Structure 1
Amino acid sequence: MHFPTLFSPLDLGPFTVPNRLIMGSMHTGLEESPKHFGRLAEFFRSRAAGGAALIITGGVSPSDAGRAMPGGAAMLTEADVELHRCIPDAVHQAGGRICLQLLHTGRYGFHPKVISSTNAQAPISPFQPHALSAEEIQAEIASFAEASRLAEMAGYDGVEIMGSEGYFINQFTSPALNDRTDEWGGSADNRQRLAVEIVKAVKAVVSDNFLIIFRISLLDLVPKGTPWSEVASLAKKLEAEGVHLLNSGIGWHESRVPTIASMVPHAAFKDATSRLKSIVGIPVAVTNRINMPDQAEALLAEGLADMATMARPWLADANWGVKAEQGHAEEINTCIGCNQACLDHVFVGKSVTCLVNPYALNEHKLQVVPAAVPKSIAVIGGGVAGMSAAVEAAERGHKVSLYERNETLGGQFLLAAAIPGKEDYAQTLRYFKARLAALGVTVHLGVEVTAQDLKEAGVSTVILATGVRPRVPELPGVERANVVRYDQLLSGEVAPASSVAVIGAGGIGFDVCEFLLHCDAPVTATKDFLQHWGIDCEDDAQGGLVKPQPQHAHRRIVLCQRSTTKPGKSLGKTTGWIHRTALRMGGVEHLVGVEYLRIDDEGLWYRLDGVEQCLAVEQVVLCSGQVSELGLQESLIEAGLGVHVIGGADKAAELDAKRAIRQGVDVVMALSA
């Protein structure tokens, strides 16, 4: 059997699950409106059919005050029961189990009715919370019980009580925030009272067949947070009160430590879960940055946990579990931890999807159906846009040939995978290559194809995905040997010098700086990562934080930009702060609002505030934008071929893999209708 521990059954008490895979909670942007519940039901149904034994929904509030936003998702009345019923029904039809996550946001809510243990305002919310009275706390406890009763009526198999990530319950349990002096604050027993009383209240109103999961904060990752001794005492109390499963919670939303982004090593916080498992007798689940079955199998086989919770990997591939169980792990479309189409979408009010899988949460409008008239299609360009289009076309029955002038597929994604912390980007290339082979796409590498070649091959339609080339600015001295393009540096064609100026502070400029910091001082090993960011998974440090021990290369790096905006302003909503912090920790200097003048033996000359100066560096790296590669377009059109341009060839500014992969799907759908 492939991955025997992962695919062994587990008795959770109320019921037995056939494998150890949990699809963890993630907000999709659809929970707020019942008109989208059909989409949500199909999304969850497909994941249950794809091998997720237990699914946990996005957060649903048990009370009006606990909503994430005005009109946010809540389970309050029997009318909500009827609206929700289609979701567990769909999962059950696929043979799965599903739990409703009860998420009370407390002071993290974005509305004026927010409440908490104290009136201290959260740094990520514009609203000051109301500090609850003892009577008001009892009302919130009762709301958890009522929401659980309603969830069982709706057909859910259980609830996950969200007790981590800095939300309402965590705002009581953690000494970082709870400064109350009554029976709900002060001692650890008093601060933990809310969590214990909620579980008691829930147990009193649900049946013995109803699963109760508690997501416990193992590492708050905030100053003066919960020490391990208190985590352990709370876990034992929850077990005693009848919780069936403890799920790992890592970090608060206001933590200044990355916990799920791509630079976090796989299962970086597993030791915290292992400690938890060693002190309780109920199953525990490990989470955070587990994206492939060999990782999950190793964790469970070693006895570090009983189940593996993954959320975004199920966005990336609805059939993750089936592929793993059947021995086709190489065909799993792997989550790369980019956040660009999931968390970044949530925080700007967009519905969630996935950069590497545009079908995620678009199942209602994106379906693979055979082409009405199969065509002979040539895809020119083997980056992610071209590979996406080639796979999509082959799946719909077209005859497909893919041409790439280099000897390796991947394009700009291949360069991205060279950035320390973005190694998982290579998994996307592995996935596409596996799909191309499985679908019988003819791949031509190292070929400069011409319009005449395609005409002779009987091609009628061309998808032009030739990507971009780095833009070289018109600057005196730019042709010198000490000036290199970012692609030359990242591909290993040119070695980094000991002092470097990086021209251009967009996403590629930041990536190049991280490459320069860590290409010869990596922090990709778990031990190095934890030391680098100051995370303690083994002792009793408050909140799991200790003094960081940054590791980086001993070279001078200066990031330069012409604009006067804050460096990194255009980076991802949920990951930009990590990249800015990483550069600051590495001592990267910033020059903002500069006018580039020339490059010579002395270095990079520029003008700032009217004063001409020289940046004395050995090397200048150009990250000054890209230009679309469209050299073939005119000859293809003149040859009478139908030409469709996608990816960087279509739009070079601000390279966007999310757009490129989705364009590959969309262009083929249009051609197949």
Structure 2
Amino acid sequence: MAAHPRYPLLFSPLDIGVAKLKNRALMGSMHTGLEEADNGFAKQAAFFAERAKNGVGMIITGGIPPNFEGGGRGSKLSEPHEVAEHRLVTEAVHAADPDVKICLQILHTGPLAKTSECVAPSAVKSRIGAYMPNALTADGIEKQLRDFANCAALAKEAGYDGVEIIGSAGYLISTFLVEKTNLRTDEWGGPFENRMRFAVEVVRRVRKAVGPDFILIFRISAMDMLQGGLAWEEVVQLGKAIVAEGVNVVSTHFCWHEALVPTIATMVPRAAFTQVTGRLRKELGVPMITSNRINMPHVAEEVLVRGDGDIVSMARPMLADAELVKKAFEGREDEINTCIACNQACLDHTFNGKLV
């Protein structure tokens, strides 16, 4: 197939080892509220299928907890009877375009869960959390590990092409990683080798549960942007460890939710953080997803040309325009309904319990 005349990299295929993506355009994970809505999975099926038929290469769903304490409300994926509603989504996407890959994001919100049963490595309350988390016992940690693996296995049964494990943003996995929230003195706390043990073990258990031929993405916090966050050397060390345990693609995330640094607002320059992804890409040697304020195809192409990523996530832009990828391919960029990063109909709605 001849290279696209304007966006040769964006519309080039990518081999990620266990699968081949038809292009580098990703609709990254974002919460729509449909996860909790009546008949929500049927609506999600239509929502994602519309993006699939309009050219996106891969989709990652909004975050789904692996157990009750991982979310506290809404849907989860921990029981066999929950598989059927997820199959509505995967079948709709694959019917729209069999070449599009769809992955489930496994999201354990840890201290940010909407329940008094929320858990964390230590009883350290998040600045934006509703509850003081319950410090996990050794048995409790083992339960969380089993639940991550079980969720991934159920996702495979539901027809997903892979899973993304989110290990950033102040959710459970990231609270194990930093000393600010991990006060443990056992094998899960203390030196960084211990603090990263939970993240690495999650990856190991998930890979074992799904086998070798299933996409495994890990969303790593490349910049925590809070006092006491990960040092760059620790980010690299964690990245190398999870790749060694079977991660196919690493996705970079920037900023804990409780941090005060803007990362997705209109004031943030386009593709402002992608160079960090590029720096980590040189260290890890696996395909990398980059994101944040990449709202138009020419911005995405520039990121790829610089070597600042292999896959470009455009979640909010594809919320604004389901046909973004198709319009770019057909040279109709002036028709794209451009995301201006106002966050009013996405992030603000999510925080206020409204549908996106």
Aligned to 1:193: 197
**Are 1:99 and 2:92 an aligned pair?**
no
Q: CA deviation at 1:34?
A: 5.9
AA aligned to 1:86 is L
**Are 1:176 and 2:177 an aligned pair?**
no
Q: CA deviation at 1:211?
A: 0.4
Equivalences for residues 436-585 of structure 1 within 5 A: none
**Are 1:10 and 2:14 an aligned pair?**
yes
Q: Say whether the 8 Å CA contact 2:289–2:310 is kept in structure 1.
A: yes
Aligned to 1:153: 157
Matched residue of 1:183: which SS? coil
Matched residue of 1:85: which SS? helix
Aligned to 1:408: none
Q: CA deviation at 1:209?
A: 2.3
Q: Say whether the 8 Å CA contact 2:33–2:354 is kept in structure 1.
A: yes
Segments ≥4 residues shifted beyond 3 Å: none
Residue in structure 2 matching 1:22, options 19, 22, 26:
26
Q: CA deviation at 1:35?
A: 1.6
Residue in structure 2 matching 1:216, options 201, 215, 220:
220
Residue in structure 1 matching 2:35, options 10, 13, 31:
31
Residue in structure 2 matching 1:82, options 81, 84, 91:
84
AA aligned to 1:182 is D
Q: Say whether the 8 Å CA contact 2:276–2:308 is kept in structure 1.
A: no
Q: Say whether the 8 Å CA contact 2:250–2:289 is kept in structure 1.
A: yes
Equivalences for residues 312-331 of structure 1 within 5 A: 312-331=316-335
Residue in structure 2 matching 1:119, options 119, 123, 127:
123
Larger RCO, structures 1/2 (Cα 8 Å, 6+ apart): 2
Aligned to 2:245: 241
Equivalences for residues 282-301 of structure 1 within 5 A: 282-301=286-305
AA aligned to 2:51 is R
Q: CA deviation at 1:33?
A: 4.1
AA aligned to 2:147 is S
AA aligned to 1:251 is C
Aligned to 1:275: 279
Aligned to 2:143: 139
Q: CA deviation at 1:126?
A: 2.3
Q: Distance in 2 between matches of 1:121 and 1:176?
A: 11
Matched residue of 1:278: which SS? helix
Q: CA deviation at 1:145?
A: 0.3
Q: Distance in 2 between matches of 1:258 and 1:346?
A: 17
Matched residue of 1:229: which SS? helix
Matched residue of 1:289: which SS? coil
Larger radius of gyration: 1
Alignment deviations for residues 607-664 of structure 1 (CA, whole Å, 9 cap, x no partner): xxxxxxxxxxxxxxxxxxxxxxxxxxxxxxxxxxxxxxxxxxxxxxxxxxxxxxxxxx
Q: Distance in 1 between matches of 2:345 and 2:311?
A: 26
Q: CA 1:33/1:78 → structure 2, altered by over 3 Å: closer, same or farther?
A: farther
Aligned to 1:431: none
Q: CA deviation at 1:208?
A: 2.5
Structure 2 regions of 5+ residues with no counterpart? none
Q: Distance in 2 between matches of 1:338 and 1:77?
A: 37
AA aligned to 1:166 is G
Q: CA deviation at 1:13?
A: 1.4
Q: Distance in 2 between matches of 1:108 and 1:345?
A: 17
Structure 1 regions of 5+ residues with no counterpart? 353-673
Which has the larger helix fraction? 2
Q: Distance in 2 between matches of 1:249 and 1:53?
A: 20
Q: Say whether the 8 Å CA contact 1:176–1:226 is kept in structure 2.
A: no
Number of equivalent positions: 350
Alignment deviations for residues 81-121 of structure 1 (CA, whole Å, 9 cap, x no partner): 01211101011012121100000000011211110011011
Aligned to 1:426: none
Q: Say whether the 8 Å CA contact 1:8–1:18 is kept in structure 2.
A: yes
Aligned to 2:211: 207
Alignment deviations for residues 127-170 of structure 1 (CA, whole Å, 9 cap, x no partner): 10001011210110110000000000000110000101111000
Q: Distance in 2 between matches of 1:175 and 1:306?
A: 31
Aligned alpha-carbon RMSD (Å): 1.0
Q: Distance in 2 between matches of 1:258 and 1:131?
A: 30
